[in-house]
Amino acid sequence: MTTPPDRPLSQRPRVLVVVNSEGSGPRRLGVWLLEAGIDVVPMLGEHGLPATLDGFDGLVLLGGGLMPDDYERAPWLHDERRLAAEAIEADLPTLGICLGAQLLVDVAGGEVRASFGPKERGSTPIRVNEAGRGDALLSRLGAVAPMIENHEDMITVLPPSAVLLASSDAVEHQAFAIGSHVRGVQFHPEVAAADLAAWDDAALRGEGYDAAALMAAALEVDEQNTRASRELVAAFADEVRSRHEGAVAG
């Protein structure tokens, strides 16, 4: 990603984005963070991850078709889990998305089960609870917002240290916080309705879904989805900048 010319790289906050699947990068989330003056550093897990989070003011853990301890297929998960534990310990601004959220749960002592519970594909209403309405990020969704889902694994038990922030009609654990600045979301704020065009139509048909219908439903609420997703990312960017400014001042 390029750096806006109005601020030197050395003075900009930095966010590490762990990419767990080569086809699933930061997308519009990366664009919005860049627009907010934050340097985005995407790293594909299979190509290696940093030893520590030193020099980073925030962390994003993206999704992927894995379980949090699927070491045979994804040996880099050992390193990703270590970074997640470091972020939790430091209360670093962190956003875990889908697999990333499940990994945070597993690291912190909760439970994730493979191919368990209802599948959620496409646009899904996410309902923010009372705790979520008091959270700097989830409150940006309003009472309810349509977000893109694409999962079949499920967070079944949150860690003792986690606070539930939002649910869908089918899945309780849609968003949570650990500490003040670590959040996990089962949905995908980085994914826009147009991105559904790349989804595997044959695989969806095998599960009883109609790809065209999923796309049409997502497009109907695309404006609301984009607004809510951008607001959530903007709130995350605020926390990253605050962390950076504190580190510089310290």
Positions marked catalytic: 98, 188, 190
248 to each of 9, 182, 198, 241, 243, how far by Cα in Å?
Answer: 14, 21, 42, 10, 9
SS3 helix, strand, coil % of the chain, rounded to 5?
40, 25, 40
Closest to 186 in 3D by CA, of 154, 233, 145, 234: 154
Contact (Cβ atoms closer than 8 angstroms) between residue 129 and residue 168: no
CA distance 60 to 42: 9
Closest to 101 in 3D by CA, of 39, 188, 41: 188
- Cross-strand partners of 188: 148
Helix (H, G, I), strand (E, B) or coil at 157: strand
